[in-house]
Amino acid sequence: MNAIEAYGDKLYIGAAIPNFVFASWDKYSDLIMSNFNCYTCENEMKPEAILDEEKSRNTLPSSYKHAAVKFDACAPVVKTALTVGVKLRLHTLVWHSQTPDWFFTEDYTSGGAPVCREVMLCRMENYIKDVLAFFLEGYPDLIYAVDVVNEAFDRESGDENGVRRDKNMWYQTVGSDYYYQALLFAHKYAGHSTKLFYNDYSCMYKPDIILSNLKSAKKEGLLDGIGMQSHLSLTDNQELYFAAMDKFASEGYEIEVTELDVGVKDADHEKLERQGEYYQDLMDRIMSRRESGTNISAVTVWGLSDHLSWRRGEHALLFDENLNPKPAYYGFLRQYKKSEL
């Protein structure tokens, strides 16, 4: 049994896939197509990959409130997804990281003076409109979900309401409601079949901050779901993780597990077995909630194999560097039996 057979009629089972995988498609295609029915670009749909600095600067002043965009970086995933017939998650529109500083300045240079709130809101709206139009008009039904805002809330680097302030040009130019404005614009331009998500890390440690800040947007119908980044380790408490999930579900949010990996440092055979057990426990509890009525619609792992992981050296994914399934894979399928491995 593979992941599509195990879950394909119940959930989107996704993977974050970098561009060079599509350039070597024959090497990875069997593994991908038998296990994943939706893809997420690891980096190629983030603002730094889509915003066109040179064209924006060279077309001033007409581009002053409307930065230029380009979509060559994500062309391989779009082509492959259309060819094999799978859906895409769009990750992500508004994020403090991997959004270039020049986008926020008067002259589109990294050293320029920041623009005012009014101008930045125009740039935000036009950027969101252009990105959504490219996909929703050019490739109808390809994008099923959008991470509209990523990582807007943080206890340590946030303001009095927990809105991320430090090293956040969105906060500095637009203000503490920048995430709400992004959701407002995304709702304005998204199609009815496209789900709009707020996505964040360490959700188990800040569910109340997330819920309180998103309350107005949820009440106004601007937001469908919460993406729970799930960069976990064997020492992470699943009780806290699922307590947060239950809080989100109780407020009427659709839930997606968006960036799943489970790190194991200094991995030996015993730790890899424990990793398999951890994945199995996680998926058992996810599916139990779904079968009981919790609106969990997708689980996406953040990478294909250990050597393609952003957490290289932590053996965090389902397949090893030779693309062989690990105990983690069998645990993910809820088929892990320690005595057989």
Which active-site residues does the annotation give? 151, 259
Of 289, 285, 315, 319, nearest to 305 by C-alpha is: 319
Which sign does the torsion angle of CA 192, 202, 288, 280 carry?
A: positive
Question: Residue 5: in which H helix or E strand, if any?
Answer: helix 3-7
**What is the token pair recorded at 324?**
């062989």
Indicate the helix (H) or strand (E) that contains 20: helix 19-23
Count of C-beta atoms within a 10 Å radius of residue 60 = 11
Q: Do 22 and 71 touch, CB atoms closer than 8 A?
A: no
Q: What tokens were used for 330?
A: 């069998």
Angle at 258 between CA 161 and CA 104, to 5 degrees: 55
Query: Measured between alpha carbons, how far is 169 from 155 in angstroms, rounded to an integer?
Result: 18
| Angle at CA of residue 96, ends 162 and 195, nearest 5° | 85
Q: List the structure tokens of 18.
A: 């970098």
CA torsion sign, 49 to 50 to 55 to 61? negative
DSSP, res 14? E
